Structure 1
């Protein structure tokens, strides 16, 4: 190996130096982009919170040089023949690229013209290319950069689909208080105060060795380990300290089996749910409070707030009780939530639903833990968690059908106030309180009369139709579930399809303008779920011909057909018992879409009522 190949460099670089007109490829074994909503939300929240703790309205741009830096961690590149390949760190760098694309699009709506583009792509001899180059991701990045959205087709890989969804999560997580005069200050801070350590190896062998060392043998103490050290140091009994240490280590292993950062997410959620008293007001220049401090340095926050946590600095017994009873109880409850997010668990179904369409995890997880008391039975724990999850689901569905935002930045103060309101409530009081919150919402299902499908609400429309379809079939005694229609483990996935073919010429007796036709065609009443590929085979046919195919599909689709009302006692019982205006449609014109739209609204009112008493475990 030559001297150059044997060389390894490490240097402190701000984000501007890392990305501005720089070029990286991604090593083949790092190709998949796998971040989920909770990862991207944590990144955006951490960065924006760190900036807001430094910024004060009225600052001059040059004062930003005195703002504290934010360390984002290391990344490893292999440099050969003038080309650099990312060996470790592409998840963060790809996410930062998505974030920068969002910021660049956002500023088009604001009176600013910050030079963000060179950190996204660079230009050589008139040819533009993205700074982080993976060939199959280029259409997605181009769509996000040029249109602010990207709709993956059937051939898109999982990384591309993830990137498109994470971009939407960034939109939800970015705080409103930065969409004003603070925006250029934030861009400055992001460029020059966010720091990474670049580790460069000049041979693949050395690069992979560094990658393995960082991922397999890192010795840095995590916040969870520092909290453990502090807690266990206060125990009076050596034997009890050993028992607590064994339990703590096992708990951390179980949490990390879900995600490498799940242990930290648990402590943040638990401490916010039960002990945090304050949150930063939603205006620029405000300082971080309990909620934010727990999110960044929860181990330090506990040490500095013993009385809030109910700990007595002079009593080892209080620390033992906290670890062996409180910690153990909430840790087990948290595992139940994690399991219910992964698969439909009887009695915790709403947890699964809101993991597909809900509020940000930094808000939903504390909410679901807040009402629990450490003496609650396991049934009561499930009742309370499911009740809160049902409230969250109803809240987001009603906001969504009214085209109302529920991004973390827009509802964080309201939701954290709710955390404190429901903290420790018994089940009847919890149901009563959350029911009152739903009754007081401005958004109701009456607003559905304006709801329609468009490019940016595809995920929600599929969620909505999957919930309605599964609910109707369950009420009719069938064994299908939400998973059947939203994300089946096998078989063809279901897709949102229009009943009307995209043929304006067939409807000119009802519409003078083509845009009016498309407006009606995208109303919810014209939409159903069909297996992928099914509608393509007869999608251009008139409705009168489609009916023969629809009778073979799910119950909500079948209900269009007169034949579904013959010799189908369970369906007719559902129609009568729940007073739902199901009706067959011999033809499907404008009035039929309106009738189906009303039917869907009434189904939604049955699925998501204002009362939450029905959320108990049966």
Structure 2
């Protein structure tokens, strides 16, 4: 009978976990510290609210043995680092507050283990991107930069001082006691990487917190784990990749990467299964997996530049990428991930990239204004990328641009051609609060000096106000011969049309918005936007004027600003 254990689970309180000769290390490839205020607050409240006889179960941590060195047992954490790191941060805060109040306590013993030579070893050691921040608070060094660990420390410190300002010393002692004796977890020794990986999968199937990117990482590393050099290289590349996108939703980057690299639909929920299926179906060896991670890392740098609009020596490109963020073109990032490597390899020039960006903007403005399905955009861009990967179109700039133009031309002619775009632009409802509305109005003003837009400095103004006062209704009655009910009904149709909207910059109070048109014209006259000061040429403002101005702006949009020419 085989008595070899698959795992060795042990229930322990925090005192038991941190009073042994154990040190827990987070492997280089593990994800960074990501807990935020919601998690800190929930944990803190759970501990504070514990009454006599109650305990709080923190969950489980999965570890594998690393080494025994000078009497200290080192374990690698495979799951649970977020909870463990947060507990260590809380202990550090309690230590520092106790020292401020000159309150005695053995806090340091729970933060450091001691080897046979008397050397102090931090009981928790995080991955490369987090450990410096953790050591800062452990060693009481200045927190000079921004980091989630510093934010967590500040949250606990401020919360304790605020909630217990009348009896801080007593609160520190009570919190310390509850943390050590009433907070429990299950410490699971999985013995090896394979067992830990299988346990990972089981925990994820049961709905515990593991993102698709985490699972992909663990699967990839498990596949190369038989080759130590390739494993280390994979870990290094993955860490660098994650550092590039950690602040811009890594899972969205990974999905865009998959859509740009492989044919077919990819949802965030199915990322892990899709990539595993590809790896197993195509029988990727370790070299292929390493090449995949190298490419993933390269594309993460490009994705970061796209998202932040900060390509070097590319002012016009960056300006257009900034504009993209205002008109909801994130599905096009799939194609941009395919295009920008050609730019970096000098197959595409700056002018070529700008041509592609212009095409994408025209396509997206038309698509959005006409209310077309956004879900179909993933398919469109995925198929363009696949075409570039499998045909000779990607061997020169003309072929690349032709491939993009041909597909977008097909979609525009079928769904958002001249007539459809103009009719929708003329009659659709434009939401004043949307960034896209502000951008469209700004572009229609044909700015000459200002090449970029600070969306926070611009407000969308209803020329005929959103709420019609009695005076406005009387004015419209006199001008249109409509009844009050007819005016109200007609306003529902015309109030949010493009012809009744303009943009203003700076202070603009509600009283100004509700003025009669004649009173507003004095303010419009001083506007730096041509689309606004041109309103001074109109004598009245009724539904007829809204109709005429909508027609004028729709013609400008379809024949100049977002004109499509193949």
2 CA distance for matches of 1:366 and 1:242? 29
- Contact 1:350 1:389 (C-alpha < 8 Å) held by counterparts: yes
Q: How many residues align?
A: 372
- Contact 1:465 1:529 (C-alpha < 8 Å) held by counterparts: yes
Select 1:494's aligned residue among 442, 447, 459.
459
**TM-aligned CA distance change 1:305 to 1:336, over 3 Å:** farther
Q: What residue is the counterpart of 1:225 in the other structure?
A: 217
Matched, 1:272 2:238: no
List per-residue Cα deviations over 1:176-197 (Å, max 9, x = no partner).
xxxxxxxxxxxxxxxxxxxxxx
Aligned ranges 1:36-185 → 2 under 5 Å: 78=46, 80=49
Matched, 1:366 2:334: yes
Matched, 1:481 2:452: yes
**TM-aligned CA distance change 1:88 to 1:560, over 3 Å:** farther
CA positional deviation for 1:420? 2.9
2 CA distance for matches of 1:87 and 1:390? 55
Structure 2 SS opposite 1:347:
helix
**TM-aligned CA distance change 1:374 to 1:232, over 3 Å:** farther
Q: What residue is the counterpart of 2:562 in the other structure?
A: 608
TM-score, with structure 2 as normaliser? 0.53
List per-residue Cα deviations over 1:386-442 (Å, max 9, x = no partner).
66655454344323433x24242x655455444434547443323432442354133
CA positional deviation for 1:527? 0.8
- Contact 2:237 2:293 (C-alpha < 8 Å) held by counterparts: no
- Contact 1:551 1:557 (C-alpha < 8 Å) held by counterparts: yes
**TM-aligned CA distance change 1:274 to 1:593, over 3 Å:** same
CA positional deviation for 1:481? 2.2
- Contact 1:271 1:294 (C-alpha < 8 Å) held by counterparts: no
- Contact 1:354 1:393 (C-alpha < 8 Å) held by counterparts: yes
Select 1:306's aligned residue among 282, 296, 319.
282
RMSD of the TM alignment (CA)? 5.0
- Contact 1:223 1:299 (C-alpha < 8 Å) held by counterparts: no
Structure 2 SS opposite 1:453:
coil
List per-residue Cα deviations over 1:344-386 (Å, max 9, x = no partner).
9631444433433325x5x443233245666952683876776
Structure 2 SS opposite 1:519:
helix
**TM-aligned CA distance change 1:450 to 1:550, over 3 Å:** closer
Q: What residue is the counterpart of 2:79 in the other structure?
A: none
Query: Whose relative contact order is higher, 1 or 2, with alpha carbons under 8 Å and at least 6 apart?
Result: 1
CA positional deviation for 1:506? 0.8
Q: What residue is the counterpart of 1:420 in the other structure?
A: 386
CA positional deviation for 1:208? 12
2 CA distance for matches of 1:499 and 1:530? 15
2 CA distance for matches of 1:87 and 1:365? 42
- Contact 1:560 1:585 (C-alpha < 8 Å) held by counterparts: yes
Q: What residue is the counterpart of 2:535 in the other structure?
A: 560
Select 1:332's aligned residue among 272, 292, 301.
301
List per-residue Cα deviations over 1:179-231 (Å, max 9, x = no partner).
xxxxxxxxxxxxxxxxxxxxxx99985799899x9xxxx99992353255156
CA positional deviation for 1:297? 3.5
Q: What residue is the counterpart of 2:476 in the other structure?
A: 507
**TM-aligned CA distance change 1:495 to 1:243, over 3 Å:** same
Matched, 1:401 2:388: no
2 CA distance for matches of 1:604 and 1:555? 15
Unaligned runs of 5+ in 1: 8-27, 34-73, 90-200, 280-289, 562-583, 613-618
List per-residue Cα deviations over 1:249-295 (Å, max 9, x = no partner).
22222321x24x51x433332222112x334xxxxxxxxxx667852
TM-score, with structure 1 as normaliser? 0.49
1 CA distance for matches of 2:326 and 2:534? 26
Unaligned runs of 5+ in 2: 1-12, 16-35, 60-174, 188-208
**TM-aligned CA distance change 1:465 to 1:222, over 3 Å:** closer
2 CA distance for matches of 1:208 and 1:496? 58
Task: Kindly name which structure, 1 or 2, has the bigger radius of gyration based on alpha carbons.
Answer: 2
Structure 1 SS opposite 2:462:
strand
List per-residue Cα deviations over 1:15-59 (Å, max 9, x = no partner).
xxxxxxxxxxxxx943999xxxxxxxxxxxxxxxxxxxxxxxxxx
